[in-house]
A and B are shown apart, each in its own frame.
Chain A
Amino acid sequence: MRSVASRTSFRRRFVNGLMLGLTYVAAGVATLPLLFVLVYLLAKGVSAVNWSYFTSLPRPPGMGGGGAANAIVGTLVIVAGASVMGVPIGIGAGIYLAERKGAPLAVFVRFLADVLNGLPSIVMGIFAWELVVVPMGHFSALAGALALGAMMIPTVTRTTEEMVRVVPSTLREAALALGYTRWRTSLRIVLPTALAGIVTGVLVALARVAGETAPLLFTAFGNDFWSLSLNQPMNALPLQIFNYAISPYDDWHAQAFAGALVLIALVLIISLLARAATGRGFARASE
């Protein structure tokens, strides 16, 4: 009897250990591609990231040098434009979802926001093309900003909702008891308390759209020259990386790697800022 018991338990322990080991392997394998990508980019791109990369315009292949100054500025401009369109709507919708959590419209909007979040970015691209580029008759940064702004809405909406929801209802009550009206309570007390979290949500959305290429292919389109006009085609870092990567020229490839490094750095900086903002928010909420 005793030996049977111990044999079974050995088999079971073995399975347990095996599975535990496999999950370790899975975790290892899953993080490998990230390391491969980062190491490769660093190896290939670091030498091309220099002063002129940040200050010069793109040059034709074979001439050497050149940079992505207009693409970097373009990315910032387009993303700023996207925020102007996406952030206010997202925050407003998020507050609505948090304040009317059970209302039928809120349930419906919440569901659609999640569905919108999963729409392919290329679909946003052709949408903005049809809506802006076709009537205007030419590509423009504005169309790109519209595509990215639409992509930001669901992310900002859902994080705002979550952050407003964790503000204790007692604070809301205290403000009402002081004679605050509802809108004053929301804008002066609830929103400032949730601000750190909302900032995080906005930054996460920014980080996501800053790296998007597909929605810009037929909207901002790209531009080899300086342009700050929203009404004109504009270069963006992801566009330049794509165009250089599929080109046959070695010096453009090097620039593509440099661009990828800069883009990842940009995205990571935004993500880290987002984490920092949340950290502050948690410290406050836990008191």
Chain B
Amino acid sequence: MVDEILAGPPGEAEGPPVEPAQPRVGIHGGGFGDRIYSGVITLSALCVPALLLLIFWVITKAGWLALHTFGFGFLTSSQWDSVKQQYGAAPALYGTLVSSFVALVLATPLALGVAIFLSEFAPAWLRRPVAFLVDLLAAIPSVVYGLWGIFVLVPFLRSWVMPFLRDTLHLGATPFFSGPAYGPSMLAAGVILAIMILPYISAVSREVLMAVPRSQREAALALGATRWEMLWGAAIPFARSGIAGGVILGLGRALGETMAVTMVIGNRQEIATSLFAPGYTMASLIANQFTEATSDLNLSALMAVGFVLFVVTLLVNAGARWLVWRTSLETSI
């Protein structure tokens, strides 16, 4: 038996042997396999940073011509003229930010309400079905929301919601709710985005609320707090940065969402204060114009828009992950 052990050429030890009298040479079947296996999984893991780097490089390279030609003015100019070869992404940038902001304003309170409902108040029999339905919101493809938006949401906003906001509530006096109700509009984009990001915000918020240690909750309840006071005073402050992370994660989704927005926002290269007016987002600009790009500069300008979108969502996502990660560290202590 011992002969057999020693006959096996040296293999890879999992830990350092005490005093390696000599360098281990030769390769045993097991050790060789282990090295290949370890190499394969490490290589797979390295694919993730490599992919991100490759995307960054490819898009930067493709957008370089436009970024170089227009410089910082690319972000501030409103001209998008393929005849004069002048390209500026300001309306799309503006539209991206405003539609996402509207979406956050609409979705955040609702999503928080759902998260609190599911993590605290819901009776057991309602919890699973409601959680399932809200999760399902995230499963519906973007293009289907767009389809529904074109045929249901936009007409509904035009005939009911916009006149109601403008005339009945007299919000028409403010610049945000004035002007003719076209239908396809920044408001429509904001509403559809709100529906689409709601499940993401609510899922993360729910998770961080559930992660609040029992001791925190019980301490508050033991002081005579009602369940709401316990939530407001103990659980929500504890989960605060995680919830913020969830909201920012939703923001990241909204910034990059393409199809549904393209189908309902009206696609007009103009900055308008009124939410009733059509607009553009960076993603919808790319989706609409890419196949029709007439020149190298035009194509490069679209790539540059993609570059801006990439950088913005990258930063937003990294920030969100950092916040969620920080909460999970705090709650684990």
Given contacts A182-B14, A264-B141, A268-B139, contact A245 B146 (CB under 8 A): yes
Please indicate the chain B residues that have their CB under 8 angstroms from the CB of A26 in the complex.
109-114, 116-117
Q: What's the Cα separation between A121 and B262 when bound, in Å?
A: 13
Partner of B62, one of A36, A130, A241: A130
Given contacts A89-B47, A181-B34, A214-B287, contact A126 B145 (CB under 8 A): no
Please state if A89 and B44 are interface contacts (CB–CB under 8 Å): yes
- Of the stretches B15-23, B84-92, B226-234, the one at the interface is B226-234
Partner of B317, one of A109, A114, A213, A271: A114
Please state if B37 and A183 are interface contacts (CB–CB under 8 Å): yes
Please indicate the chain A residues that have their CB under 8 angstroms from the CB of B291 in the complex.
217-218, 221
Partner of B48, one of A40, A112, A129, A264: A112
8 more A-B residue pairs beyond the given contacts A27-B117, A88-B44, A221-B291, with a C-beta to C-beta distance below 8 A: A23-B114, A25-B113, A26-B113, A33-B137, A116-B48, A153-B48, A267-B139, A267-B141
Question: What is the minimal beta-carbon distance from A195 to any residue of chain B, in angstroms?
Answer: 17
Please indicate the chain A residues that have their CB under 8 angstroms from the CB of B257 in the complex.
120
Please indicate the chain A residues that have their CB under 8 angstroms from the CB of B226 in the complex.
12-13, 15-16
Please indicate the chain B residues that have their CB under 8 angstroms from the CB of A241 in the complex.
143-144, 147
Please state if B141 and A153 are interface contacts (CB–CB under 8 Å): no
* Contact residues, A40-60 vs B (CB, 8 A): 40-41, 44
Please indicate the chain A residues that have their CB under 8 angstroms from the CB of B229 in the complex.
12, 15-16
Please state if A109 and B49 are interface contacts (CB–CB under 8 Å): yes
Q: What's the Cα separation between A246 and B61 when bound, in Å?
A: 32
Given contacts A115-B314, A181-B33, A183-B34, contact A23 B147 (CB under 8 A): no
Question: What is the minimal beta-carbon distance from B228 to any residue of chain A, in angstroms?
Answer: 4
Please state if A96 and B41 are interface contacts (CB–CB under 8 Å): yes
Residue of A nearest to B317 (CB): A118
Q: What's the Cα separation between A44 and B150 when bound, in Å?
A: 13
A68-111 CB contact bits vs B (8 Å, 1 = yes)?
A: 00000000000000000000111111011101000001101101
A278 within 8 A of B: no
Please state if A114 and B113 are interface contacts (CB–CB under 8 Å): no
Given contacts A26-B109, A41-B144, A260-B144, contact A109 B48 (CB under 8 A): yes
Please state if A150 and B41 are interface contacts (CB–CB under 8 Å): no
A198 within 8 A of B: no
Q: What's the Cα separation between A202 and B266 when bound, in Å?
A: 36
Please indicate the chain A residues that have their CB under 8 angstroms from the CB of B111 in the complex.
26, 30
Please state if B44 and A93 are interface contacts (CB–CB under 8 Å): yes
Given contacts A207-B139, A245-B263, contact A30 B198 (CB under 8 A): yes
Please state if A122 and B114 are interface contacts (CB–CB under 8 Å): no
A-B contact pairs, 24 of them (CB 8 A): A16-B227, A22-B113, A23-B114, A25-B113, A27-B114, A31-B130, A37-B140, A44-B151, A93-B45, A93-B48, A105-B42, A111-B325, A112-B52, A115-B317, A120-B255, A123-B55, A130-B58, A181-B33, A207-B139, A212-B142, A214-B258, A214-B259, A256-B147, A264-B140
Partner of A150, one of B51, B62, B258, B314: B51
Please state if B48 and A154 are interface contacts (CB–CB under 8 Å): yes
Q: What's the Cα separation between A111 and B326 when bound, in Å?
A: 13
* Contact residues, B218-277 vs A (CB, 8 A): 226-229, 231, 249, 252-253, 255-259, 263
B155-189 CB contact bits vs A (8 Å, 1 = yes)?
A: 00000000000000000000000000000000000
Residue of A nearest to B30 (CB): A181
Most chain A CB atoms below 10 A, which of B52, B140, B146, B309:
B140
A151-169 CB contact bits vs B (8 Å, 1 = yes)?
A: 0011001000000000000
Please state if B286 and A122 are interface contacts (CB–CB under 8 Å): yes
Q: What's the Cα separation between A120 and B140 when bound, in Å?
A: 16
Q: What's the Cα separation between A130 and B290 when bound, in Å?
A: 12
Please state if A260 and B147 are interface contacts (CB–CB under 8 Å): yes
Partner of B34, one of A93, A150, A182, A246: A182
A285 within 8 A of B: no
Question: What is the minimal beta-carbon distance from B236 to any residue of chain A, in angstroms?
Answer: 11
Question: What is the minimal beta-carbon distance from B208 to any residue of chain A, in angstroms?
Answer: 15
Residue of A nearest to B285 (CB): A122
